[in-house]
Structure 1
Amino acid sequence: MMNNTETAPTAHPTPEAQPTRISGIGRVLVAVYGVLALAATGRSFVQIVGKFSEAPLAYTLSALAAVVYIVATVALIRSGSGWYRVAWIAIGFEMLGVLVIGLLSVFDPQLFPHDTVWSYFGRGYLFIPLVLPILGLWWLARHRPARAA
Protein backbone atom coordinates (compact mmCIF):
# COMPACT_ATOMS: atom_id res chain seq x y z
CA MET A 1 0.00 0.00 0.00
CA MET A 2 1.30 3.44 -0.91
CA ASN A 3 0.99 6.50 1.28
CA ASN A 4 0.67 10.05 -0.02
CA THR A 5 4.42 10.62 -0.15
CA GLU A 6 5.17 7.66 -2.39
CA THR A 7 4.74 7.85 -6.11
CA ALA A 8 3.93 5.10 -8.51
CA PRO A 9 6.79 3.95 -10.68
CA THR A 10 6.81 5.53 -14.10
CA ALA A 11 6.52 3.23 -17.05
CA HIS A 12 8.77 3.76 -20.01
CA PRO A 13 6.89 3.41 -23.27
CA THR A 14 7.82 0.38 -25.28
CA PRO A 15 7.64 0.29 -29.07
CA GLU A 16 4.39 -1.67 -28.76
CA ALA A 17 2.90 1.12 -26.62
CA GLN A 18 3.66 3.83 -29.16
CA PRO A 19 0.73 5.39 -31.02
CA THR A 20 -0.44 3.35 -33.98
CA ARG A 21 -2.17 4.17 -37.24
CA ILE A 22 -5.51 3.75 -35.48
CA SER A 23 -5.13 6.66 -33.09
CA GLY A 24 -7.30 9.73 -33.46
CA ILE A 25 -9.06 10.04 -36.79
CA GLY A 26 -7.52 6.70 -37.78
CA ARG A 27 -10.02 5.04 -35.43
CA VAL A 28 -12.88 6.55 -37.41
CA LEU A 29 -11.28 5.37 -40.65
CA VAL A 30 -10.95 1.82 -39.29
CA ALA A 31 -14.53 1.90 -38.02
CA VAL A 32 -15.87 2.99 -41.42
CA TYR A 33 -13.80 0.29 -43.14
CA GLY A 34 -15.16 -2.26 -40.68
CA VAL A 35 -18.77 -1.23 -41.26
CA LEU A 36 -18.27 -1.25 -45.03
CA ALA A 37 -16.64 -4.69 -44.79
CA LEU A 38 -19.68 -6.02 -42.93
CA ALA A 39 -22.13 -4.35 -45.31
CA ALA A 40 -20.36 -5.56 -48.45
CA THR A 41 -19.98 -9.08 -47.04
CA GLY A 42 -23.65 -9.28 -46.11
CA ARG A 43 -24.79 -7.89 -49.44
CA SER A 44 -22.60 -10.16 -51.52
CA PHE A 45 -23.59 -13.22 -49.48
CA VAL A 46 -27.30 -12.54 -50.01
CA GLN A 47 -26.74 -11.82 -53.72
CA ILE A 48 -24.65 -14.92 -54.36
CA VAL A 49 -26.87 -17.29 -52.39
CA GLY A 50 -30.17 -15.90 -53.66
CA LYS A 51 -29.66 -14.83 -57.24
CA PHE A 52 -26.12 -15.47 -58.47
CA SER A 53 -27.30 -16.62 -61.92
CA GLU A 54 -28.92 -13.23 -62.59
CA ALA A 55 -25.65 -11.26 -62.49
CA PRO A 56 -22.62 -13.43 -61.68
CA LEU A 57 -20.05 -10.77 -62.60
CA ALA A 58 -21.66 -8.08 -60.45
CA TYR A 59 -22.10 -10.37 -57.46
CA THR A 60 -18.58 -11.75 -57.73
CA LEU A 61 -17.25 -8.18 -57.78
CA SER A 62 -19.31 -7.39 -54.68
CA ALA A 63 -17.72 -10.38 -52.94
CA LEU A 64 -14.28 -9.23 -54.07
CA ALA A 65 -14.99 -5.76 -52.67
CA ALA A 66 -16.00 -7.34 -49.36
CA VAL A 67 -12.70 -9.25 -49.18
CA VAL A 68 -10.76 -6.08 -50.00
CA TYR A 69 -12.56 -4.17 -47.22
CA ILE A 70 -11.88 -6.96 -44.71
CA VAL A 71 -8.18 -7.07 -45.62
CA ALA A 72 -7.91 -3.27 -45.49
CA THR A 73 -9.60 -3.16 -42.08
CA VAL A 74 -7.28 -5.79 -40.61
CA ALA A 75 -4.20 -4.21 -42.19
CA LEU A 76 -5.08 -0.78 -40.80
CA ILE A 77 -5.52 -2.23 -37.31
CA ARG A 78 -2.30 -4.24 -37.29
CA SER A 79 1.07 -2.59 -36.79
CA GLY A 80 4.34 -3.17 -38.58
CA SER A 81 5.74 -2.46 -41.98
CA GLY A 82 4.36 -5.67 -43.49
CA TRP A 83 0.80 -4.78 -42.56
CA TYR A 84 1.45 -1.23 -43.73
CA ARG A 85 2.29 -2.59 -47.19
CA VAL A 86 -0.78 -4.84 -47.14
CA ALA A 87 -2.92 -1.79 -46.29
CA TRP A 88 -1.41 0.16 -49.21
CA ILE A 89 -2.04 -2.72 -51.61
CA ALA A 90 -5.61 -3.34 -50.42
CA ILE A 91 -6.62 0.32 -50.40
CA GLY A 92 -4.85 0.98 -53.71
CA PHE A 93 -6.69 -1.98 -55.24
CA GLU A 94 -9.93 -0.63 -53.78
CA MET A 95 -9.28 2.77 -55.38
CA LEU A 96 -8.60 1.16 -58.74
CA GLY A 97 -11.70 -1.02 -58.43
CA VAL A 98 -13.98 1.88 -57.57
CA LEU A 99 -12.67 3.93 -60.48
CA VAL A 100 -12.73 1.14 -63.08
CA ILE A 101 -16.08 -0.38 -62.08
CA GLY A 102 -17.52 3.12 -61.57
CA LEU A 103 -16.51 4.22 -65.05
CA LEU A 104 -17.63 0.95 -66.68
CA SER A 105 -21.02 1.13 -64.98
CA VAL A 106 -21.50 4.69 -66.22
CA PHE A 107 -20.35 4.14 -69.81
CA ASP A 108 -21.60 0.56 -70.30
CA PRO A 109 -24.41 -0.17 -67.83
CA GLN A 110 -25.24 -3.47 -69.57
CA LEU A 111 -22.04 -4.93 -68.09
CA PHE A 112 -23.62 -4.67 -64.66
CA PRO A 113 -27.36 -5.39 -64.83
CA HIS A 114 -27.33 -5.37 -61.02
CA ASP A 115 -25.27 -3.02 -58.88
CA THR A 116 -22.00 -3.97 -57.24
CA VAL A 117 -20.55 -2.18 -54.22
CA TRP A 118 -18.42 -0.12 -56.61
CA SER A 119 -21.05 0.50 -59.35
CA TYR A 120 -21.52 4.15 -60.17
CA PHE A 121 -18.64 4.94 -57.80
CA GLY A 122 -20.45 3.49 -54.78
CA ARG A 123 -23.73 5.29 -55.31
CA GLY A 124 -25.59 2.59 -53.36
CA TYR A 125 -23.34 3.31 -50.39
CA LEU A 126 -23.60 7.11 -50.51
CA PHE A 127 -20.32 7.31 -52.49
CA ILE A 128 -18.37 6.20 -49.42
CA PRO A 129 -16.48 3.62 -51.56
CA LEU A 130 -15.17 6.51 -53.68
CA VAL A 131 -14.11 8.76 -50.80
CA LEU A 132 -12.81 6.10 -48.42
CA PRO A 133 -9.74 4.95 -50.39
CA ILE A 134 -8.69 8.57 -50.92
CA LEU A 135 -8.81 9.14 -47.17
CA GLY A 136 -7.20 5.77 -46.51
CA LEU A 137 -4.24 6.40 -48.81
CA TRP A 138 -3.81 9.90 -47.38
CA TRP A 139 -3.87 8.48 -43.85
CA LEU A 140 -1.29 5.83 -44.71
CA ALA A 141 0.99 8.42 -46.31
CA ARG A 142 0.84 10.49 -43.13
CA HIS A 143 1.46 7.53 -40.79
CA ARG A 144 4.38 5.58 -42.19
CA PRO A 145 5.88 3.07 -39.77
CA ALA A 146 9.21 3.98 -38.22
CA ARG A 147 12.22 2.32 -39.80
CA ALA A 148 14.09 -0.23 -37.74
CA ALA A 149 17.35 1.08 -36.31
Structure 2
Amino acid sequence: MLIALYAVFALAATARAVVQIAVQFDEAPLAYALSLFSGLVYIAATVGLVTHRPWSRPLAWGACAIELVGVITIGIASIVDPQAFPHDTVWSRFGSGYGYIPLLLPVLGLLWLRYSRPGAEHGRSDDRSPA
Protein backbone atom coordinates (compact mmCIF):
# COMPACT_ATOMS: atom_id res chain seq x y z
CA MET A 1 0.00 0.00 0.00
CA LEU A 2 2.83 2.41 0.92
CA ILE A 3 4.65 1.78 -2.35
CA ALA A 4 1.42 2.16 -4.32
CA LEU A 5 0.79 5.55 -2.68
CA TYR A 6 4.32 6.67 -3.48
CA ALA A 7 3.94 5.54 -7.09
CA VAL A 8 0.64 7.40 -7.49
CA PHE A 9 2.10 10.59 -5.99
CA ALA A 10 5.23 10.23 -8.14
CA LEU A 11 3.20 10.01 -11.30
CA ALA A 12 0.57 12.60 -10.35
CA ALA A 13 2.91 15.26 -8.95
CA THR A 14 5.43 14.96 -11.76
CA ALA A 15 2.87 14.92 -14.57
CA ARG A 16 0.92 17.83 -13.08
CA ALA A 17 4.08 19.89 -12.61
CA VAL A 18 5.33 19.23 -16.14
CA VAL A 19 2.01 20.39 -17.60
CA GLN A 20 1.89 23.46 -15.32
CA ILE A 21 5.46 24.43 -16.16
CA ALA A 22 4.82 23.98 -19.89
CA VAL A 23 1.53 25.89 -19.95
CA GLN A 24 1.49 28.48 -17.16
CA PHE A 25 4.92 28.69 -15.54
CA ASP A 26 4.82 32.51 -15.39
CA GLU A 27 1.74 32.45 -13.13
CA ALA A 28 3.44 30.70 -10.20
CA PRO A 29 7.05 29.72 -10.97
CA LEU A 30 7.99 28.91 -7.37
CA ALA A 31 4.95 26.71 -6.80
CA TYR A 32 5.38 24.83 -10.07
CA ALA A 33 9.11 24.32 -9.58
CA LEU A 34 8.46 22.98 -6.08
CA SER A 35 5.75 20.69 -7.45
CA LEU A 36 8.25 19.27 -9.95
CA PHE A 37 10.82 18.87 -7.19
CA SER A 38 8.28 17.02 -5.01
CA GLY A 39 7.44 14.75 -7.93
CA LEU A 40 11.11 13.88 -8.38
CA VAL A 41 11.41 13.18 -4.65
CA TYR A 42 8.39 10.86 -4.85
CA ILE A 43 10.00 9.07 -7.81
CA ALA A 44 13.24 8.62 -5.84
CA ALA A 45 11.35 7.31 -2.81
CA THR A 46 9.37 4.88 -4.97
CA VAL A 47 12.51 3.54 -6.65
CA GLY A 48 14.27 3.26 -3.31
CA LEU A 49 11.38 1.37 -1.74
CA VAL A 50 10.76 -0.96 -4.69
CA THR A 51 14.29 -1.99 -5.64
CA HIS A 52 16.64 -4.20 -3.69
CA ARG A 53 20.06 -2.86 -4.60
CA PRO A 54 22.80 -1.70 -2.23
CA TRP A 55 21.81 1.93 -2.91
CA SER A 56 18.04 1.41 -2.57
CA ARG A 57 17.60 1.87 1.16
CA PRO A 58 19.88 4.94 1.37
CA LEU A 59 17.96 6.45 -1.56
CA ALA A 60 14.63 5.77 0.16
CA TRP A 61 15.90 7.16 3.49
CA GLY A 62 17.15 10.32 1.81
CA ALA A 63 14.02 10.83 -0.29
CA CYS A 64 11.66 10.31 2.66
CA ALA A 65 13.73 12.66 4.84
CA ILE A 66 13.82 15.35 2.13
CA GLU A 67 10.09 14.87 1.63
CA LEU A 68 9.36 15.35 5.35
CA VAL A 69 11.53 18.47 5.55
CA GLY A 70 9.96 19.77 2.34
CA VAL A 71 6.35 19.26 3.36
CA ILE A 72 6.96 20.89 6.75
CA THR A 73 8.96 23.80 5.29
CA ILE A 74 6.60 24.46 2.38
CA GLY A 75 3.61 23.88 4.62
CA ILE A 76 4.75 26.58 7.03
CA ALA A 77 5.87 28.95 4.25
CA SER A 78 2.57 28.62 2.39
CA ILE A 79 0.66 29.58 5.54
CA VAL A 80 2.99 32.39 6.62
CA ASP A 81 3.34 33.91 3.12
CA PRO A 82 0.40 32.80 0.96
CA GLN A 83 1.27 35.43 -1.71
CA ALA A 84 4.45 33.49 -2.47
CA PHE A 85 2.25 30.51 -3.36
CA PRO A 86 -0.58 31.84 -5.55
CA HIS A 87 -1.12 28.28 -6.79
CA ASP A 88 -0.84 25.19 -4.62
CA THR A 89 1.99 22.72 -4.61
CA VAL A 90 1.64 19.14 -3.38
CA TRP A 91 3.21 20.27 -0.11
CA SER A 92 1.28 23.57 0.34
CA ARG A 93 -0.47 23.83 3.69
CA PHE A 94 1.05 20.45 4.61
CA GLY A 95 -0.67 18.73 1.70
CA SER A 96 -4.18 19.82 2.67
CA GLY A 97 -5.30 19.66 -0.97
CA TYR A 98 -4.39 15.97 -0.96
CA GLY A 99 -5.99 15.04 2.35
CA TYR A 100 -2.72 15.59 4.26
CA ILE A 101 -1.33 12.40 2.73
CA PRO A 102 1.87 14.28 1.75
CA LEU A 103 2.47 14.95 5.46
CA LEU A 104 1.72 11.38 6.52
CA LEU A 105 3.54 9.62 3.68
CA PRO A 106 7.17 10.42 4.66
CA VAL A 107 6.47 9.54 8.29
CA LEU A 108 5.09 6.16 7.22
CA GLY A 109 7.98 5.70 4.79
CA LEU A 110 10.59 6.43 7.46
CA LEU A 111 8.85 4.15 9.96
CA TRP A 112 8.66 1.36 7.39
CA LEU A 113 12.34 1.75 6.59
CA ARG A 114 13.21 1.67 10.28
CA TYR A 115 11.15 -1.40 11.12
CA SER A 116 11.91 -3.33 7.94
CA ARG A 117 15.68 -3.03 8.23
CA PRO A 118 17.71 -6.24 8.41
CA GLY A 119 17.64 -7.57 11.96
CA ALA A 120 14.48 -5.64 12.90
CA GLU A 121 12.15 -8.61 12.53
CA HIS A 122 10.60 -9.91 15.73
CA GLY A 123 12.06 -7.05 17.76
CA ARG A 124 15.62 -8.29 17.26
CA SER A 125 18.29 -5.62 17.08
CA ASP A 126 21.59 -5.79 15.29
CA ASP A 127 23.26 -6.51 18.64
CA ARG A 128 23.33 -10.29 18.86
CA SER A 129 25.04 -10.54 22.24
CA PRO A 130 23.21 -12.62 24.87
CA ALA A 131 21.27 -10.71 27.49
TM-score (norm: length of structure 2) = 0.87
Q: Contact 1:37–1:70 (CA<8 Å) still a contact in 2?
A: yes
Name the SS of the counterpart of 1:43 in structure 2. helix
* Higher CA-based Rg: 1
Counterpart Cα distance in 2 of 1:125 and 1:37: 13
Q: What is residue 141 of structure 1 aligned with on the other side?
A: 114
Instruction: Give the aligned partner of residue 35 of structure 2.
Output: 62
1:90 aligns with 2:63: yes
Residue type of the alignment partner of 2:37:
L
| 2:79 matches 1:121 | no
1:105 aligns with 2:90: no
Q: Equivalent residue for 2:7?
A: 34
Runs of 4+ more than 6 Å apart: none
Q: Number of residue pairs matched?
A: 120
- Structure 1 length as normaliser, TM-score? 0.77
SS in 2 for 1:113: coil
* Letter of the 2:11 counterpart: L
Uncovered stretches (5+) of structure 2, i.e. residues with no partner: 120-125, 127-131
Identify unmatched segments of 5+ residues in structure 1: 1-27
Of 132-141 and 79-88, deviating more is 79-88
CA distance in structure 2 between the partners assigned to 1:49 and 1:110 by the alignment: 22
Cα distance in 2 between the residues matched to 1:31 and 1:43? 18
CA RMSD of aligned residues (A): 1.3
Identity over aligned pairs, percent: 54
